[in-house]
Amino acid sequence: MNVYLVDDEKHALGMMKHYLAKMPDVTVVGASEDPIRAIEEINTLKPDLVFLDIQMPILTGIELLPYLREKPMIVFCTAYDQHAIKAFELNALDYLLKPVNRDRLAASIARARSQWEVLEVFQDEQMDGGLEKVVVSILGKSHVVWLEQAMVFTKDGRYTNILTLEGRELLANLTIGYLADHIKDPRFFQINRSEIIQKRFITAFEPGEHGTLTLMGANDKPYQVARRRVKDFKAWFL
């Protein structure tokens, strides 16, 4: 069974590697202290099981989950036991309290072996507060865009284009549907099936054709509010 480790504490990674090296049929294929790098490596290496720290800078373990394409089994690790309920709400395979005990780790591995054939063991969910940031690819490297920097999200096939406050266009490996479901920030509104816009980006609007609304963005580009969304848009904007 191939295993990947994600923890921003170097000592914790070292201990996990030491314990796992002595367990039969377990191979640590990679480890990272950086959650952004971890996303790239997990999607490339496709491990069967990921031990994932919850409390990390930039992205928490829970915020990292939507970016994992293959959906490996997940065991959350954290020093805070109050995260246990959320871990199991996400259908994580197990939950380990740090510092990790060797016997408890062995029990998690045994549980993983028994579910090795399970294709998906957790749901793509976020904290109740919704997404706060999105990972994008810039010249082959992953970077974080905070929601406050994002002005417009536009569907681009199975990806989403993000227009930033600085006028940059960046590509995120998330669908517009996923973003619509997980962005809870009241500053954002989905104006049609393909676009989500931030309120402060709108400079004006006027009636459009067939009961729609035409918005003018700060980039002097028009955006259309679908007819069925006009009433909700006005309630949100005004």
In whole angstroms, how far apart are CA 61 and each of 6, 36, 50, 53, 133?
A: 8, 11, 11, 6, 13
Q: What is the pLDDT of residue 42?
A: 95
**Residue 120: pLDDT over 50:** no
| Same-domain check for residues 140 and 228 | yes
| Same-domain check for residues 165 and 103 | no
| Same-domain check for residues 16 and 97 | yes
Tokens matching residue 42: 């997990």
DSSP 8-state class, residue 68? -
Report the domain count for the chain: 2
Question: pTM to 2 decimals?
Answer: 0.59
DSSP 8-state class, residue 157? T
Q: What is the pLDDT of residue 194?
A: 97
**Residue 23 belongs to some domain of the structure:** yes
**Residue 127: pLDDT over 50:** no
d(CA 91, CA 101): 22
Find where tokens 């197990």 sit: 94
Q: What is the pLDDT of residue 121?
A: 31
| Same-domain check for residues 143 and 40 | no
Confidence of residue 185 (pLDDT cuts 50, 70, 90): very high
**Residue 128: pLDDT over 60:** no
- Bridge-based pairing state of the strands 27-32 and 2-6: parallel
**Residue 59: pLDDT over 60:** yes
Q: Is 92 helix (H, G, I), strand (E, B) or coil?
A: coil
**Residue 26 belongs to some domain of the structure:** yes
- Kindly report the average pLDDT of the chain as a whole number: 87
**Residue 165 belongs to some domain of the structure:** yes
**Residue 223: pLDDT over 80:** yes
**Residue 85: pLDDT over 60:** no
Q: Is 202 helix (H, G, I), strand (E, B) or coil?
A: strand
Q: Phi first, then psi: what are they for 200, rounded to 5°?
A: -70, -10
**Residue 123 belongs to some domain of the structure:** no
Give the Cα-Cα-Cα angle 135, 204, 136 (nearest 5 degrees).
5
Task: Taking residues 78-104, report their average pLDDT.
Answer: 74
| Same-domain check for residues 137 and 192 | yes
Q: What is the pLDDT of residue 115?
A: 67
Residue 13 belongs to domain spanning: 2-114
* Domain boundary residue, one of 84, 114, 144: 114
Q: What is the pLDDT of residue 157?
A: 87
* CATH number of the domain encompassing residue 137: 2.40.50.1020
* CATH number of the domain encompassing residue 57: 3.40.50.2300
**Residue 124 belongs to some domain of the structure:** no
Q: What is the pLDDT of residue 119?
A: 36
| Same-domain check for residues 41 and 79 | yes
Share of the chain above pLDDT 70, in %: 87
Share of the chain above pLDDT 90, in %: 60
| Same-domain check for residues 92 and 55 | yes
d(CA 32, CA 41): 9
d(CA 151, CA 65): 24
| Same-domain check for residues 54 and 138 | no
